[in-house]
Structure 1
Amino acid sequence: MNTRTLGRLWRNGVALLLAAVFLFPVYWMFSTSFKSNSQVLTRDPVFFFTPTFEHYSTATGVELFWTYVTNSVLVTLGAVLLALVVALAASFALARMRFRGRRGMVLAVMMAQMAPWEVLIIVVYLNARDLSMLNSLGTLVLVYFVMALPFTIWTLRGFIAAVPRELEEAALIDGCDRFQAFRRVIFPLLAPGLMATSLFGFIMAWNEYAMVLVLNKAPDAATLPLWLTQFQTNFGNDWGATMAASSLFTVPVLIVFLILQRRVTGGLAAGAVKG
């Protein structure tokens, strides 16, 4: 066995070990959701069992469950679409146009991306309260849109900068105006970047808990992250229902990621190094 083969085996072994370490909690979450209460609350781990769906019935039987689902879908899609529309215009300006303060704007976008949004919860709450915007899905859409915008601008800027100017100039010579050249030439080449940024915004808005906990306390304005906390009571935690709810909450993200996996990986890499 030569050195190259040994090196490959060593790297593959480490990769498999890390994959097992990261995937085991996910496996345990899904498996626990199918166990009975006696199998969940035991000292010895149970690996072989007869599946039961009672915990899923408990999780989906919560009052206003479908309201939570609808709110999460509306808020997530609204924030992602709004961020994409604004970021496309902003990233095109940063990549193609030369204006005073351009470098400062790029630096501001980077700083906004690095800032922890949790430190702004009090400020956001006070502004929403003073403007009578508490318990509103529109407020969550605006907040999540602002949170996703810096990353979206930064990534799409790299993709637009990577498109040769000659393609756009050729479209202008052929009779297209600036908007038509963008729509017909540049926009089709941005698919990997759009998918990468959309997935990032989707995961961020879908999983966000702190903002919705503070801004939307009304049950009919809550989202799924608050639904996950309803199985913890003063009498104890219903771990089976919690794991079932967590599994249902995770499935949409897994499906979207598996569908977009290849384009997302390439999009993040290309958008990070180009431009």
Structure 2
Amino acid sequence: MSAVESRTVQAGLGIRPQAGPARTSGRGGPARRVGDVVWGLVAVAVFAMSAFPVYWMINTSFLPNSAIRGEDIAFFPTPDLFTMRNYVSVITDESRAAFTPAMWNSIWVTTLTVFLAMILGFLASLALTRFKFKGRRTFILLILVVQMLPGEAMFISLFRIIDSWHMLNTVIGLVLVYLAGVLPFTIWTLRGFVNGVPAELEEAAMIDGCTKAGAFWRVTFPLLAPGLVATGVFALIQAWNEFILALIIMSRPESMTLPIWLRTFQQANEATNWGAMMAGSTLVALPVVIFFLFVQGRMTGGLVSGAVKG
């Protein structure tokens, strides 16, 4: 007997058909919605706690020192308090080290460090991933060991090496020091990205007529671009914001990088100009923020590269 006939007979005998299992909503019940709201509020709270120091820095940079040191807290730069004098003081004040040379020193040091770290790290990661050679595992282990060493443990040795090469207070000397710290991280990170691209893709391209170099540049390299961008951003942030090594290598005022230049706002014989210091901090952070806005799409793709398999 078919299902239709069975329901017809049951209806004729006055028998009610049994109800099937209740359907559950795909969106979940009230408990799940409450959980989503709670986690959303937690995310907003975490974002607010992370963003508030940055906002306070920018807000303080537009306030006069009288308002900064006053008893009343100014959460917004109102028209009667708003001033650009702090930014003018940062650029034109001759009582401390100049801003422009420090900015160019930081740009040159960061650019050369990231450029060399990406080239050397990329080639090293390819060698570690695509080729089998004696001592490969030992080299990988040494990279991990170098990353575990704190930078403070190498201050004396790095200073003596750079001094013996007569490279103190030079951009090249600081680039070499930064490169020694950034390169192990770059190699280890890029090795993971290169390892995530199957070598069979290059072999298939070579079967179709590409040379080995052509298969790499046409097939493998575009897939590694997000990983290169993500690794480059981390290397840039590390080189741009580094303070301790620059303080040791760059001791002359004309050789300062921007993090060392910010230190000049705190003098032992005078009060700290907090407005100018916050304005300088905003200018120091601005290039990294602009660069991140340009590459955030590729960086996001690089960070999640390999998370989805298939």
Normalised by the length of structure 2, the TM-score is 0.83
- Could you tell me how far 1:122 is from its partner in structure 2? 1.5
Question: Within 1, Cα distance between the matches of 2:263 and 2:192?
Answer: 39
- Residue identity opposite 1:142 in structure 2: L
Q: What is the aligned counterpart of 2:150 among 107, 111, 116?
A: 116
Question: Within 2, Cα distance between the matches of 1:271 and 1:107?
Answer: 23
Partner of 1:95: 129
- Residue identity opposite 1:61 in structure 2: T
1:105-184 superposed matches below 5 A: 105-184=139-218
Does the C-alpha gap of structure 1 residues 197 and 238 become closer, same or farther in structure 2, counting only changes over 3 Å? same
Partner of 1:57: 88
* Contact 1:34–1:52 under 8 Å retained in 2: yes
Is 2:109 the partner of 1:75? yes
Question: Within 1, Cα distance between the matches of 2:40 and 2:307?
Answer: 27
Bigger shift: residues 256-265 or 38-47 = 256-265
Mind listing any 5+ residue stretches in structure 2 that lack a counterpart? 1-28
Question: Within 2, Cα distance between the matches of 1:266 and 1:237?
Answer: 43
Q: Deviations over 1:79-119 (max 9, x none)?
A: 00101110111000111111222122112222222322222
Q: Percent same amino acid at aligned positions?
A: 47
Question: Within 2, Cα distance between the matches of 1:239 and 1:164?
Answer: 53
Does the C-alpha gap of structure 1 residues 231 and 141 become closer, same or farther in structure 2, counting only changes over 3 Å? same
Q: What is the aligned counterpart of 1:15 among 29, 40, 43?
A: 43
Is 2:238 the partner of 1:204? yes
Question: Within 2, Cα distance between the matches of 1:188 and 1:94?
Answer: 19
Question: Within 2, Cα distance between the matches of 1:246 and 1:178?
Answer: 48
Q: What is the aligned counterpart of 2:60 among 12, 16, 32?
A: 32
Question: Within 2, Cα distance between the matches of 1:190 and 1:246?
Answer: 34
Question: Within 2, Cα distance between the matches of 1:11 and 1:208?
Answer: 35
- Could you tell me how far 1:25 is from its partner in structure 2? 0.8
RMSD: 1.9
- Could you tell me how far 1:139 is from its partner in structure 2? 0.9
Structure 1 residue matching 2:74: 3-state secondary structure? coil
Question: Within 2, Cα distance between the matches of 1:121 and 1:60?
Answer: 32
- Could you tell me how far 1:165 is from its partner in structure 2? 1.4
Question: Within 1, Cα distance between the matches of 2:85 and 2:306?
Answer: 45
Question: Within 1, Cα distance between the matches of 2:93 and 2:214?
Answer: 49
Is 2:298 the partner of 1:263? yes
Bigger shift: residues 171-180 or 47-56 = 171-180
Structure 2 residue matching 1:237: 3-state secondary structure? coil
Structure 1 residue matching 2:70: 3-state secondary structure? coil
- Could you tell me how far 1:127 is from its partner in structure 2? 1.0
Partner of 2:285: 250
Is 2:270 the partner of 1:239? no
Mind listing any 5+ residue stretches in structure 1 that lack a counterpart? none
Question: Within 2, Cα distance between the matches of 1:21 and 1:37?
Answer: 25
Bigger shift: residues 109-118 or 189-198 = 109-118
Bigger shift: residues 253-262 or 18-27 = 253-262
- Could you tell me how far 1:210 is from its partner in structure 2? 0.8
- Could you tell me how far 1:175 is from its partner in structure 2? 4.5
Question: Within 2, Cα distance between the matches of 1:74 and 1:265?
Answer: 26
Work out which of the two has the higher radius of gyration on C-alpha atoms and give 1 or 2.
2
- Could you tell me how far 1:142 is from its partner in structure 2? 1.2
* Contact 1:157–1:271 under 8 Å retained in 2: no
- Could you tell me how far 1:151 is from its partner in structure 2? 1.7
- Could you tell me how far 1:201 is from its partner in structure 2? 0.9
- Residue identity opposite 1:36 in structure 2: P
The one of the two structures with greater contact order (alpha-carbon pairs below 8 A, sep at least 6) is: 1
Question: Within 1, Cα distance between the matches of 2:165 and 2:307?
Answer: 38
